[in-house]
Amino acid sequence: MFDYDGDTGRARAPQHLRVRGGAMLSGSIDVKTSKNAGVALLCASLLNRGTTTLRRVARIEEVNRILRVLASMGVHYEWLGDDGDLRLTPPERLDLTRIDADAARRTRSIIMFLGPLLHDYTEFELPFAGGCELGDRTVEPHMVALRRFGLAVETSQGVYRATVKDHIDPPGAIVLTERGDTVTENAIMAAARHPVPTVIRNASCNYMVQDLCFFLERLGVRVDGVGTTTITVHGREEIDVAVDYAPSEDPIEAWSLLAAAIVTESEITVRRVPIEFVEIELALTEEMGLVYTRSGEYLAANGRTRLTDLTVFPSPLRAPMDKIHPMPFPGLNIDNLPFFALIASCAEGSTMIHDWVYENRAIYLTELNRLGARVRLLDPHRIYVDGPVHWTGAEVVCPPALRPAVVLLLGMLRARGVSELRHINVIHRGYEQLAERLQRLGAEIEPF
The DSSP code sequence of 23-42 is PPPEEEEEPPBPHHHHHHHH
Residue 399 · residue 369 · CB < 8 Å: no
pLDDT at 140: 84
Residue ranges of E strands in 133-175: 151-156, 159-164, 173-175
CATH number at residue 221: 3.65.10.10
212, 291: one domain: no
303, 230: one domain: no
pLDDT digits (tens, 9 = 90+) for 347-366: 999 999 999 887 778 888 99
pLDDT at 1: 31
Domain boundary among 187, 220, 245: 245
167, 295: one domain: no
52, 146: one domain: yes
**Segments forming the whole domain that contains residue 402:** 3-32+249-447
DSSP 274: E
pTM as predicted: 0.93
233, 289: one domain: no
What would the mean pLDDT of 183-196 be, rounded to a whole number?
Answer: 95
147, 163: one domain: yes
223, 116: one domain: yes
77, 197: one domain: yes
Domain boundary among 245, 273, 303: 245
Domain boundary among 221, 245, 269: 245
73, 152: one domain: yes
- How far apart CA 446 and CA 187 sit, in angstroms, is 43
Residue 151 · residue 162 · CB < 8 Å: yes
141, 279: one domain: no
213, 336: one domain: no
> Domain count of the chain?
2
pLDDT digits (tens, 9 = 90+) for 362-376: 888 999 999 999 999
333, 202: one domain: no
